[in-house]
Amino acid sequence: SQQGEEDPQALSIQEGENATMNCSYKTSINNLQWYRQNSGRGLVHLILIRSNEREKHSGRLRVTLDTSKKSSSLLITASRAADTASYFCATGRSYNTDKLIFGTGTRLQVFP
Amino acid sequence: KAGVTQTPRYLIKTRGQQVTLSCSPISGHRSVSWYQQTPGQGLQFLFEYFSETQRNKGNFPGRFSGRQFSNSRSEMNVSTLELGDSALYLCASSSPILRDGASYEQYFGPGTRLTVT
């Protein structure tokens, strides 16, 4: 079963607006990653935040991590139509394994 | 550098048959993981291979198996196919370079879409 729950399940916004997605997980982690998936294709890695980090930026992406609440958020600023995709959080829990536990995903639609 | 490649991209099989899917990781990557994605269950971890050894296995029946070759290429096999095995099967590889014990970002292939009729 999946560990993470994402909220909202779906989000529709206009170009230029910000999009915020939230992820909650259940057990201790050593990192949390966000991935994007376009229309049933492969996943693209966006950003990784380690358990001892609280915030990370990459271009228009901002990720926060609150290990006390077992939650993370992904903020996409100044959204573009090309950002339309499904976004998944994934947690890495153990050393010496690449196994990821994925969340349920958020479907983002950005209207031009 | 070429990305992760998966073959075939699309496959239609009949219940009871078996299928083999192939994954070629990014050059230099030694870790390969497999995931199953379905609308109902989402993304589920199948197994992980590192240096030809299965390092981790998800909660799937024994009909699902895999292996990794000395060149890091990996195959997964599903025997006695069931309708519920219809899914997008994703392969991912990662680099052990700079590994400090934590897992690193995964590079995913485009997936193999398997339809069981």
Nearest-neighbour CA in chain B from A100: distance (Å): 7
Give the Cβ contact number of residue B8 at 10 Å: 12
Given an 8 Å threshold on Cβ–Cβ distance, is B55 in contact with A104? no
Given an 8 Å threshold on Cβ–Cβ distance, is B42 in contact with A98? no
- Spatial CA neighbour of A92 closest among A64, A36, A50: A50
Which residue from B minimizes the CA distance to A39?
B110
Given an 8 Å threshold on Cβ–Cβ distance, is A98 in contact with B92? yes
- Spatial CA neighbour of B76 closest among B116, B26, B18, B115: B18
Average pLDDT, integer, range A62-85: 97
Q: Whole-number mean pLDDT of chain B? A: 92
Cβ-Cβ contacts under 8 Å, A103 against chain B: 42
- Using the Cβ of B31 and the Cβ atoms of chain A, whether some distance falls under 8 Å is answered with yes
Q: Which residue has the higher pLDDT, A93 or B59?
A: B59
Q: Whole-number mean pLDDT of chain A? A: 92
Q: Is residue A1 pLDDT above 50, yes or no?
A: no
- Using the Cβ of B39 and the Cβ atoms of chain A, whether some distance falls under 8 Å is answered with no
pLDDT digits (tens, 9 = 90+) for B3-18: 999 999 999 999 999 9
Give percent above pLDDT 70 in chain B: 92
Nearest-neighbour CA in chain B from A11: distance (Å): 18
pLDDT digits (tens, 9 = 90+) for A18-52: 999 999 999 888 889 999 999 878 899 999 998 89
Nearest-neighbour CA in chain A from B18: distance (Å): 23
Cβ-Cβ contacts under 8 Å, A33 against chain B: 105-106
Given an 8 Å threshold on Cβ–Cβ distance, is B102 in contact with A92? yes
- Tally A–B CB contacts below 8 A: 77
pLDDT band at B96 (very low <50, low <70, confident <90, very high): low
pLDDT at B105: 81
Q: Is residue A105 pLDDT above 80, yes or no?
A: yes
For A99, the token pair is 């196994």
Quick one: three-class SS letters along chain A? CCCCEEECCEEEEECCCCEEEEEECCCCCCEEEEEEECCCCCEEEEEEEECCCCEEEECCEEEEEECCCCEEEEEECCCCHHHCEEEEEEEECCCCCCCEEECCCEEEEEEC
Give the Cβ contact number of residue B110 at 10 Å: 18
